[in-house]
């Protein structure tokens, strides 16, 4: 059945985790505004990856990996234009230009790099095409996804930590009253200045983010830096109502046997529905 | 007359009202209103307070099924509804992965309200674009101990299976408590 959705709701890290655990074979197609990517997997391992119309030929990958020089790259492009990657790889290995290890390591590094770039894609439709793999002439590798997932998780962890530090964007900021601090003498980035210019107990972080054209993660990252620097503090916005308190539910008491009997009666009844 | 309740929760448009309607012996008392915001205009109406169905077990026992409103802005109702529940069912639309994260969040919220047994129902499994059960388990980060059950909320038999599995879990937990 279908494995498809949007990266807004289901991150690359989660997708890779799923593909890894379910040991899936097939191609993940991602279509983001203005770009597309195809990433193939065999039994849960990365096999191939391509973004858009980028040159994914073996010759170019070897050149980018500095395994061949510019002249060799040009020569191969001219003379071996009709060769498949597999044929070219065999030719280079048999002619002792490169070892099999050189070829595979270059491809692994390239495909892993392509996949890591996809972590920055926060939006885009994806679908997993079961059992669809790249054409025969392409060389597939076998890279475990664990390390790639770990890297993605590190990035997500940053996001989660920021979420913990600044859980609500409905709060406001105010400057910390510290004698001797001159905000104008501080060295702030353009983005930080933009946020600082909106600091006011009446402006919620959400409003500041909107005004400064920042997404939730970006505004948290900037505000976290300002908090760490001791420039601002988080307060409830002026005019906000106090947080309502709710009572914990009281645990039900009663004889265990009676409760079991009650549950069994319900079971009997539902079976008869 | 003794009354007990189970809560049916899940994201917006997951199928909670249909689930209750399939087994309730009364017309589901539903407080639905026209949807006003565009992102939620997947269906014409949605549950704004709660809906409930009833199953009369015998002369002195009635089971109520309470459905929670799926939209986040009504989450103030959730804790009220969860008070004293026997257990709860989290309904997830198998064909809308964009709701999985919210389903996970709702599940964690209800777990925090009360340490009662629960099951997860993967609804709309009859749809072509429904996710596989095992893919859903991974996506929802459910441990193997958590029951994830296939469901089609408009089909009474699958709804019965989900409720029975929840009741079996409640019994099992009682046995565990005793041992």
- pLDDT tens digit string along B78-113? 777 777 889 999 999 999 998 998 898 888 778 877
Written as six digits, the tokens of A62 are 């070897």
Tell me whether A6 touches chain B (CB under 8 Å).
Answer: yes
pLDDT of residue A40: 97
CA distance A194 to chain B (A): 30
According to DSSP, residue B130 is labeled P
Query: In whole angstroms, what is the distance from residue B179 CA to residue A146 CA?
Result: 40
The dihedral of CA A70, A75, A78, A82: what is its sign? negative
pLDDT of residue B72: 60
Q: Which residue of B has its CA nearest to A5?
A: B97
Strand order across the A45-51 sheet: A4-6, A125-130, A26-32, A35-42, A45-51
Q: Which residues on adjacent β-strands are paired with residue B87?
A: B6
Interchain contact, B23 vs A267, CB within 8 Å: no
pTM summary value: 0.56
Per-residue pLDDT of chain B (179 residues; tens, 9 = 90+): 788 999 999 998 899 989 999 999 887 765 555 555 555 555 555 555 567 788 999 988 999 998 887 656 566 667 777 778 899 999 999 999 989 988 988 887 788 777 789 999 999 999 999 999 999 998 888 888 899 999 999 999 999 999 999 999 999 988 876 66
Interchain contact, B167 vs A273, CB within 8 Å: no
Q: Checking DSSP bridges between strand B87-93 and strand B118-123, what pairing results, if any?
A: parallel
- What are phi and psi for residue A29, nearest 5 degrees? -105, 125
Q: Nearest to residue B150, comparing CAs of B119, B121, B117?
A: B121
Q: Which residues on adjacent β-strands are paired with residue B9?
A: B90
Q: Which residue of A has its CA nearest to B134?
A: A22
CB atoms within 10 A of CB A91: 14
Q: Which residues on adjacent β-strands are paired with residue B52?
A: B29, B66
Q: Give one DSSP letter per residue of A162-189, joined into a string.
A: HHHHS--TT-EEEE---TT--GGGS---
Q: 3-class DSSP state for residue A264?
A: helix
Interchain contact, B83 vs A250, CB within 8 Å: yes
Residue of B110, B138, B166, B175 to mutate, testing the A interface (most A Cβ within 10 Å of its Cβ): B138
Give the helix/strand (H/E) hosting A93. helix A85-94
Query: In whole angstroms, what is the distance from residue A222 CA to residue A234 CA?
Result: 13
Interchain contact, A249 vs B55, CB within 8 Å: no
Cβ-contact A32, A118 below 8 angstroms: no
CB atoms within 10 A of CB B36: 8
- Those of residues 241-270 in A touching chain B at CB distance below 8 A are 244, 246, 249-252, 256, 259-260, 262-267, 269-270
Answer CATH for B2-178 from 3.90.1150.10, 3.40.50.300, 3.30.56.10, 1.10.10.10: 3.40.50.300
pLDDT of residue A248: 32
Contact list, B57 vs chain A (CB under 8 Å): 265-266, 269
Phi-psi region of A211 (alpha: psi -120 to 50; beta: other; left: phi over 0): alpha
Per-residue pLDDT of chain A (273 residues; tens, 9 = 90+): 578 899 888 888 889 989 998 999 999 999 987 789 999 999 999 999 999 989 999 999 999 999 999 999 999 988 888 899 999 999 999 989 899 999 999 999 999 989 988 887 778 899 999 989 998 899 999 999 988 888 777 766 777 778 777 777 888 888 876 655 666 666 788 888 888 888 888 899 999 998 888 878 789 889 988 887 778 888 877 765 433 333 333 334 457 788 889 999 999 999 998
Place of tokens 């109702």: B77
Q: Give one DSSP letter per residue of A191-258, joined into a string.
A: HHHHHHTT--TTSBHHHHHHHTT--HHHHHHHHHHHHHTTSEEEEPPTTPPPPPP-PPPPPP---HHH
Written as six digits, the tokens of B86 are 């026997």
Cβ-contact B148, B142 below 8 angstroms: yes
HEC profile of B1-63 = CEEEEEEEECCCCCCHHHHHHHHCCCCCEEEEEECCCHHHCCCCEEEEEEEEEEEEEECCEEE
Q: Nearest to residue A203, comparing CAs of A236, A162, A229?
A: A236
Written as six digits, the tokens of B107 are 């599940």
pLDDT of residue A235: 80
Query: In whole angstroms, what is the distance from residue A82 CA to residue A209 CA?
Result: 52
């Amino acid at each position: 059945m279908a494995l498809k959705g949007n990266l807004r709701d289901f991150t690359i890290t989660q997708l890779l985790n799923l593909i890894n655990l379910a040991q899936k074979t097939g191609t993940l197609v991602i279509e983001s505004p203005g770009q597309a990517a195809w990433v193939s997997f065999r039994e849960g391992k990365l096999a191939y990856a391509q973004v858009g119309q980028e040159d994914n030929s073996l010759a170019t990958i070897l050149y980018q990996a500095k395994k061949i020089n510019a002249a060799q790259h040009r020569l191969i492009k001219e003379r071996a234009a009709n060769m498949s990657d597999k044929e070219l790889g065999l030719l280079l290995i048999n002619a002792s230009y490169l070892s099999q290890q050189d070829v595979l390591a270059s491809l692994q590094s390239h495909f892993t790099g392509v996949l890591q770039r996809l972590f920055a894609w926060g939006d885009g439709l994806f679908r997993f095409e079961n059992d669809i793999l790249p054409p025969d002439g392409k060389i597939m590798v076998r890279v475990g996804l664990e390390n790639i997932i770990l890297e993605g998780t590190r990035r997500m962890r940053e996001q989660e930590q920021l979420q913990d530090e600044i859980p609500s964007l409905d709060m406001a900021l105010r400057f910390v009253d510290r004698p001797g601090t001159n905000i104008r003498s501080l060295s702030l980035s353009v983005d930080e200045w933009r946020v600082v210019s909106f600091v006011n107990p009446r402006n919620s972080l959400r409003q500041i983010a909107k005004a400064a054209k920042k997404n939730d993660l970006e505004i948290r990252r900037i505000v976290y830096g300002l908090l760490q620097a001791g420039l601002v503090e988080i307060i409830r916005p002026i005019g906000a109502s106090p947080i309502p308190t709710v009572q914990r539910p009281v645990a039900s008491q009663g004889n265990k046997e009676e409760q079991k009997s009650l549950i069994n009666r319900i079971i009997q009844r539902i079976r008869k529905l | 007359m003794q009354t007990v309740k189970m809560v049916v929760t899940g994201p917006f448009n997951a199928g909670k009202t249909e689930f209750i309607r399939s087994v309730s012996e009364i017309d589901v008392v539903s407080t639905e209103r026209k949807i006003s915001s565009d992102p939620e205009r997947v269906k014409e109406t949605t549950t704004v307070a709660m809906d409930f169905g009833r199953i009369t077990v015998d002369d002195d026992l009635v089971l109520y099924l309470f459905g929670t409103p799926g939209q986040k802005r009504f989450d103030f109702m959730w804790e009220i509804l969860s008070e004293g529940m026997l257990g709860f069912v989290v309904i997830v639309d198998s064909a809308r992965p964009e709701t999985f994260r919210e389903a996970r969040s709702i599940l964690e919220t209800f777990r925090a309200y009360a340490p009662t047994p629960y099951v997860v129902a993967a609804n709309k499994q009859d749809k072509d674009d429904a996710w596989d059960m095992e893919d859903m388990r991974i996506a929802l980060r459910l441990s193997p101990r958590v029951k994830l059950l296939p469901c089609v909320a408009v089909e009474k038999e699958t709804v019965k299976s989900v409720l029975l599995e929840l009741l079996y879990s409640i019994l099992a937990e009682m046995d565990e408590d005793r041992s």
